[in-house]
Chains A and B, each alone.
Chain A
Amino acid sequence: MLSLIVFLPLVASLVLVTLPIINDTASRWLWVAVATAELALVFAVWLRYDTPSTGGLAFEEQVPWIPGVNSSYHVGVDGLSLPLLAMTAVIFLACAVYGLRETNRPRLHAALFLFLQSVSMGLFVSADLILFFLFFDLSIVGMYFVIAGWGHGDAARSALKFFLYTFLGSLSLLVGFIGLYVAADPHTFDMVELTRQLPLQGSSMAGGLVLAAILLGLAVKTPTVPFHTWLPPAHTDAPAGGSAVLAAVLLKMGTYGFLRIAMPMLPDAWRQWSWLIIVVGVVSVVYGALVALAQTNLKRMIAYTSVNHMGYIVLAVGAAGVVAGDTEQARSIAITGAVTQMVSHGLITAALFLLAGVLHDRASTYDMDAYGGLAAPAPRLAALFAIGAFASLGLPGFSGFIAEFQIFTGSIAAAPATAVALVGILITAALFLRTLQRVFTGATRGSSVGFVDLRGPELLSVGPLLLLSLLIGVLPRFLLDVIEPAAAALVQLVGR
């Protein structure tokens, strides 16, 4: 089942590349069809999903791959990865629908996104470090071509910066993986086995170094301050769909790594260094929000809010490492919030980036001051952007609140100093309201004059993302019921 989910888009991608006979329209629709099928498959997995035992996985498949180093094709899901798998499927479907209006080499465009979907799905189901690393790097390659091939502005440079920076990060990750492999006895890259073995438990020096290598790699990908400067240019120059996937899916590969690799495999070192992780999280929250507040380019601003939103996740996983007293429930709540935030940020930020893409499509600029009173010619865009903005600033009723409330409640209870990050939700509110005011209200002027409102595919791609955010915000149980057992299990694993 999982292998089908991973390889179906890849097969479709190869078909699109190798059969030039498929025309543009057909390739657009093929993409939508495959993305829909993927979502249906993930939905089926969700329906049949039963919480596995602590450290175990559901829907497991394992085939020997590189037996010389004990690496296998090993996949499976649990409550940490299933929500991300589902969110990824939703995002790619939204991009496929949005892509119905793509006119620049649509066949290749569809093929590239299908390839990206394969590696993204693959990463979230990987249960082997080499497999994880492979998908991690391939995602960078895929995104490089999306930005370089379909971007605008200084796309080549931004793409290169993105590639080199994150690739360098992935090398650090690889060093960490090899460290785990070498320390394990017998040597293995299998995640389930490594989580069981805890090869570096008790050796604080080696454990610390391996954790540092892994953290560095993940921090670049997430990204956290101060390793985030590749993100704004990459977003600004990427096409709308590319930005949506980059923010919604690729960034989550970093935060997911914290939960999947760093915390359960190096619990000792994690607890030891949790204060540092909390500090990085708090700084990312506050600094990211402040820098976002100062932006005048809409896409750069949204990019910096991602730094802020990822900061909440880092903060929560850091607080989950502060093992003291009877705060087990609080730490579990913080982790549940972190996973919810990954899903929530994916949905909301993808929606905002797709809407920003509409601005560029119509008026070729993201400069907020070029607009004003846009709500008059484009009421639908204004309504959806306002909903997205409120969702992003964590307004209750949307998924962001469910995420941030749990992150803060759990983190403050586990590590009271994290309360300083609360100022982040205030700055985010200020910056989004200012943006709404600048771009959409007042007298219609500048690039707003003659602006064409959302078209069908744009509405149909963004609308469902926001509806899902609303659904999670109002009826979160269907999601939390999956995450909570996994979060509790992770708290056990970190506490070892």
Chain B
Amino acid sequence: MTAIALWLLVLLPAVVGGTLALSRLQRAAAGVSLGTAAITAALSVVVAVTRPQVAVPFVAGSEFALGVDGLSALMVPTVAVITLLVLVFAAGDILDSRARFHGLMLVFASAALVTATAQTLPTLLMAWEIMGAMSMALIGFWWSDEHRVASGTVAFLTTRTADIGIYLAAGAALAGGAGLALVDLPSATSGWRHVIAAGILVAALGKAAQLPFSFWLSRAMDGPSPVSALLHSAAMVAMGGYLLLRTQPLLAATGWAGPAAAWVGAVTALVMGAVAVAQRDLKQLLAASTSAQLGFVVMGAGLATVTGGAVHLMAHAATKALLFLAAGAWLSALGTKSLVGLQGVARRWRLVGWVVTVGALSLAGVAPFALWATKDAVLASALEQSPPLFGVGLAAAVMSAAYAGKVLMVVWRPAPESQRHEVESHLDEEQQGNRQVGLLEKAPLLVLAVGAGVLGWLTLPPLGEAVASALVGEFVQPTALELVVSSVVAVVVLVLVWWRGLPQPEWALHWLGMERAVQVVIVHPTLWLAERCARFDDDVLDASVVATSRGVVRLAGRSATMDGRWFDGAVEKVAASLRSLGHLARRPQTGQLHQYYIQAVALVALGFLLLIALR
């Protein structure tokens, strides 16, 4: 029974979504999709409680296996519920090509659910890459704009580059004798275990938009806002962090992979925090902040505090979905997402303004909002294991408060009279705004605001220990002092930002030029090489085949000439000389008797002469 619930959880959105995407049911699409998402959300709660395991034979001596354990019991409902809320918003926000939109979103969600419950590498890789392809199709949803499609391509290719790590890991797992089940990976033979860990680490960092892969998230902003809301919160990016939490025992078993993940996460949190501070576009700011916040999750996985990482992931999902949907609501209403154009917008839509405030305070790490406690759970582990790492993490936390403060300042502080004109000029720059935020768009924001308010308490007493007991790894409860100090620091930073404003680090505006660098270092040389190879193929390989065949034709021509001139010539010559001999032989036969007599006499005389001479 519960096994059926798990199968339905992943199959229902996949089948309904796939059918919907190819159908033309524009009117019914939203209804069908919301119904499906609602059932999926209900099922997610069922499986989170009952914890079923299912498996069927699949490829390479491995199974297609799904299962719910403590970690996925947290993740699965997060994915399903946020999907539902985002789709409710989309029902009011996306009005064209609804069937395709909702269909792709459901398949996307299904892939995320399979990723969250996968028990073997083939299962994981299957869902993992479908998620990537769906994100590409959704980022390029408005396909008549070629730039948006290109953004989808960038996202897919970047994440697929990292995905190669999983292909490699699968080969290594087979060679290492561990088999392809995720839980068995740490028991692979020592050499291969390192390869497996490296492969999975790279794949996860790519999906989680950690350095140096982060730039694809910037391009992903070209998709519709509900896509961003789902992609940044519960699916795709989140799954990168999730995979590391899932494979934490493997990372720990290698010795080096844990610290490596922790450092990459910490550095990403800090650097991408700075990138977020530098942004002048709300969605770009939020995107950079996603990369930075996932840094804390990756750090948690590396430090073996699966509890802190997992709850941070959940709390971030609610927070970020909320902020992206709000940004999307304003984008639809005003036609802009530039920070200049959005000045004072919270005063015009108070409800949206207040939920954004909740989201921003959570992001900033102010008590009692969600990310405050979860971030501290990760940092507490860092403090215990590596003070330098803790230092970097703390600086990243300050950075979070800074960009959250920037958001608050922009949306609440009205533009001075002198700048009114500039603000007006940004309106409708992206699309024609309709100047309203509908009920379907507001309702999910309220639910998410509750999540962004309270989800962090899962790491605090009395819940913290209970959650931790259901998960692997160690859980370090942050002390009361740490919690208070971190919140005070966050508040101080917010006040400073409000009071003194923020510097705009120019160097971080274009995401550190990562995409440009990839273009120059990888894309252009590859295209150049491709061009060379194609030329070589035509001008050398094919040309040599053609030349060979021409040579054969020429040889045949020569042979024909030779045949005519020499062989046949020689035959002709022999024939001709024989003929002339014949002519010669006919000469004596004149038919006149006296000449025959003379010939006879001459012949006899010659005979005598010969006889005498030879004696």
Contact = CB atoms under 8 A, between A and B. Distances in A.
B481 to A, nearest CB: 48
Interface in A422-448: 422-423, 425-427, 429-430, 433-434, 436-437, 440-444
A210 interface: no
B537 A291 contact: yes
Interface string B529-544: 1110110010001100
A270 interface: no
B144 interface: yes
Interface string A384-421: 00000010000111000110011011111110100100
B130 A396 contact: yes
Contact of A395 (B130, B143, B174, B534): B130
Given A408-B171, A416-B171, A441 B541 contact: no
B194 to A, nearest CB: 13
Given A290-B529, A329-B61, A409-B60, A429 B156 contact: yes
Given A291-B537, A427-B526, A434-B153, A327 B167 contact: no
Interface string B132-164: 010010001001111001100100110011001
B122 interface: yes
Given A290-B530, A433-B153, A480-B59, A405 B144 contact: no
A449 to B, nearest CB: 14
A129 to B, nearest CB: 27
Given A395-B130, A437-B149, A412 B175 contact: yes
A435 B25 CA distance: 28
B69 interface: no
Interface in B104-139: 122, 125-130, 133, 136
B533 A290 contact: yes
A402 B170 CA distance: 13
B58 interface: yes
The interface residues of chain A, by DSSP majority, are classed as helix
A426 B146 contact: no
A291 to B, nearest CB: 5
Taking chain B's interface residues, is the majority helix, strand, or loop, or is none over half, making it mixed?
Answer: helix
A401 B126 contact: yes
A426 B157 contact: yes
A477 interface: yes
A164 B549 contact: yes
A278 to B, nearest CB: 14
B515 to A, nearest CB: 15
B129 A419 contact: no
B171 A412 contact: yes
A376 interface: yes
Nearest to B24: A379
B527 interface: yes
B22 interface: yes
B591 interface: no
A396 to B, nearest CB: 4
A441 B143 contact: yes
A401 B144 contact: no
A165 interface: yes
Q: How large is the interface on A (under 10, 10 to 19, 20 to 34, 35 or more residues)?
A: 35 or more
Interface string B206-242: 0000000000000000000000000000000000000
A396 B175 contact: no
A434 B156 CA distance: 12
A65 to B, nearest CB: 34
Given A165-B545, A433-B153, A476 B58 contact: yes
Contact of B175 (A337, A416, A441): A416
A329 B156 contact: no
Contacts of A291: 530, 533-534, 537
Given A383-B22, A480-B59, A390 B167 contact: no
A333 B170 CA distance: 12
A396 B530 contact: no
A414 B171 CA distance: 9
B59 A441 contact: no
Nearest to B535: A294
Interface in B273-313: none
A476 B61 CA distance: 12
B60 A396 contact: no
B34 interface: no
Contact of B172 (A294, A412, A414, A436): A412
Given A409-B170, A426-B157, A441 B534 contact: no
B122 A405 contact: yes
Contacts of A376: 144
A443 to B, nearest CB: 6
A229 B160 contact: no
A397 B534 contact: no
B18 to A, nearest CB: 9
A426 B129 CA distance: 12
B57 interface: yes
Contact of A396 (B129, B144, B156, B171): B129
Given A290-B530, A426-B157, A433-B157, A412 B168 contact: yes
Contacts of B170: 405, 408-409, 412
Contacts of B541: 226, 229
A443 B537 contact: no
A350 interface: no
Contact of A405 (B167, B172, B530, B545): B167
Nearest to A226: B541
A442 B146 contact: yes
A442 B534 contact: no
B159 to A, nearest CB: 10
Which of B22, B59, B61, B172 has most chain A Cβ within 10 Å? B59
B171 A409 contact: yes
A293 interface: yes
A373 interface: yes
A28 B15 CA distance: 36
Contacts of B125: 396, 405
A409 B174 contact: yes
Nearest to B149: A441
Q: In this complex, which of A290, A406, A477 has the most chain B Cβ atoms within 10 angstroms of its Cβ? A: A290
A375 B175 contact: no
A329 B171 CA distance: 12
A444 B144 CA distance: 8
A426 B174 CA distance: 22
B202 to A, nearest CB: 12
Nearest to B58: A476
A229 B542 CA distance: 5
A294 B534 CA distance: 6
B164 A422 contact: yes
A352 B22 CA distance: 18
Contacts of A430: 153, 157, 526
Given A329-B61, A477-B57, A294 B156 contact: no
A287 interface: yes
> In this complex, which of A395, A409, A412, A427 has the most chain B Cβ atoms within 10 angstroms of its Cβ?
A409
Contacts of A397: 126, 130
Given A294-B534, A327-B175, A434-B153, A333 B58 contact: no
Nearest to A431: B530
Contact of B174 (A295, A330, A390): A330
A414 B542 CA distance: 34
Contacts of A333: 60-61, 174
A430 B526 CA distance: 11
A441 B143 CA distance: 5
Nearest to B549: A164
Contacts of A436: 149
24 contacts: A229-B541, A230-B545, A287-B533, A291-B530, A294-B533, A373-B144, A390-B133, A395-B129, A395-B130, A396-B126, A396-B128, A401-B126, A402-B59, A405-B170, A409-B170, A411-B171, A412-B170, A419-B168, A426-B164, A427-B526, A429-B156, A433-B136, A433-B153, A442-B149
Given A427-B526, A437-B149, 5 more contacts: A165-B545, A226-B541, A290-B526, A405-B60, A412-B170
Q: Which 8 A-B pairs have the closest CB atoms?
A: A412-B171, A294-B534, A396-B126, A413-B175, A442-B146, A229-B542, A413-B174, A293-B530
